[in-house]
Amino acid sequence: MHLCFVEGYYPRHSGPIGGAGMYVQTIGKKLTSLGHEVSVICAKSENNGIRYFKDELIHVYPIMDSKPSLFIYYISRIPIIKILSGFLFYLHNGLKIHLFLLKLNKNKKIDFIEYSEGGDFWNTITKYFKYSSHLHGSFFTFKHQSGQKTSSAEWIRRRVEHFFIRRSHIVISPSRAMVRYVEKEMNVKLKNSNVIPYPIENIMNNSFPLFLNKQEKVIIFFASRNDPVKGGELFIRALKQIPDNIKNKINVEIYGFKPEQNIDGMDFIKLKQFIPRDDLIEQYKRADICVIPSLFDNSPNTVYEAMATGKIVVASAVGGIPEIIGGIENGFLFDPIDINDLIKKIIDAVELVLSGNSDKIRKNAQNRICSFANLKDNTKQRLSLMLN
């Protein structure tokens, strides 16, 4: 079959990469290994005129706009029309995607398309292709669920995306929680919804270093884009309140996130630039504890990767995160609106590592994620939905 994915942030050498993009790359490579042809439409690269490249056997077309055209930008300055700016950008970008898909289909018939979230309004109207909507989490949903104010322009665009989702042949989500959020937004039950977690790639293995030398510092790891929803400021506030006897035993490595708070005097915190994912995985393996302090999230890749590499996870009990972890035997969950709960869970995790008894929870986490996110089973489920 010729399967097509429309996902803006497919992994490239530079530019933003999200969990949705990593999922498409992982599942795409598995599908090509089974003999299927896979095409991906993603956002244009910054300062780069490339409109096609191959990622192993995956055909990648960076043709999507990540910013509105100048025409839409200028009319969005007009107060009365401003609230339609998101809607107009969605229609314009969707038309470009749809026309490209028609062209791609002429070269090799497309059997099925998976769109991220709100997809392509024009395919909803023409019904030219069979398609699914994958609920990775819209900009509107993340802002709304994390307590941020949403604009009228964002609400109007989201309403049009709901129209696309409602008419999808299949709706897929990595978490049951996200299905519930979208159903609440739409005020409708999505009877064609299917919950399939993200798959873990085969490079994740069952080897991890045990903390043996009690004189060494416990390494706590946090990686995130510079986004307030990811909870970096909450994490810094918690670290400030941790007792000195714990601070003296930890090193905190933060990748990507730049705190607004003053961290002078907090020498145990090391701020680092975001690095390529392969290098980031190596840093995971060095760490003892991974903290995911999201104010809201769907099914963050960092939780999957931390568990797969045998780390002790301290994560907020929001969105689909509890569905990944599965139980207290596999990791620590905290209430993101209770900073004392986060402080307690960090202390508990550090003391568990220092005790030398952390191997059980690490192995539990690995076993859980290897079963929950098995690539072979995951691919089989998705293919079954597409074929039927």
| Whether residues 191 and 234 fall in one domain | no
Q: Which tens digits make up the pLDDT trace of 278-293?
A: 787 788 888 999 999 9
| Whether residues 136 and 10 fall in one domain | yes
Residues whose CB is less than 8 angstroms from the CB of residue 35 and which lie 6 or more positions away in sequence, other chains included:
none
Q: Which tens digits make up the pLDDT trace of 275-328?
A: 777 787 788 888 999 999 999 999 999 999 999 989 999 999 999 999 999 999
Q: Which domain holds residue 54?
A: 2-199+375-387
Residue at 262 is within a domain: yes
| Whether residues 253 and 379 fall in one domain | no
Tell me the C-alpha distance between 38 and 27, whole Å: 10
The confidence score (pLDDT) of residue 202 equals: 61
Residue at 213 is within a domain: no
| Whether residues 38 and 63 fall in one domain | yes
Q: Which tens digits make up the pLDDT trace of 338-378?
A: 999 999 999 999 999 999 899 999 999 999 999 999 999 99
Which CATH number belongs to the domain containing residue 26 in this structure?
3.40.50.2000
pLDDT surpasses 60 at 212? no
Q: How many residues does the chain have?
A: 388
Number of domains in the chain: 2
| Whether residues 34 and 178 fall in one domain | yes
Neighbouring CB atoms inside 10 A of 359's CB total 12
| Whether residues 194 and 322 fall in one domain | no
Q: Which tens digits make up the pLDDT trace of 89-129?
A: 888 888 999 999 999 999 999 999 999 988 888 999 988 99
pLDDT confidence band for 44 (50 / 70 / 90): confident
| Whether residues 163 and 299 fall in one domain | no
Residue at 208 is within a domain: no
Which residue type is seen at 225?
Answer: R
| Whether residues 236 and 154 fall in one domain | no
| Whether residues 108 and 190 fall in one domain | yes
The confidence score (pLDDT) of residue 45 equals: 77
pLDDT confidence band for 49 (50 / 70 / 90): confident
| Whether residues 229 and 352 fall in one domain | yes
Residue at 61 is within a domain: yes
| Whether residues 163 and 298 fall in one domain | no
Q: Which tens digits make up the pLDDT trace of 178-202?
A: 999 999 999 999 999 999 999 998 6
| Whether residues 192 and 239 fall in one domain | no
The confidence score (pLDDT) of residue 70 equals: 64
pLDDT confidence band for 213 (50 / 70 / 90): very low
Residue at 210 is within a domain: no
Per the prediction, the chain carries an average pLDDT of 89
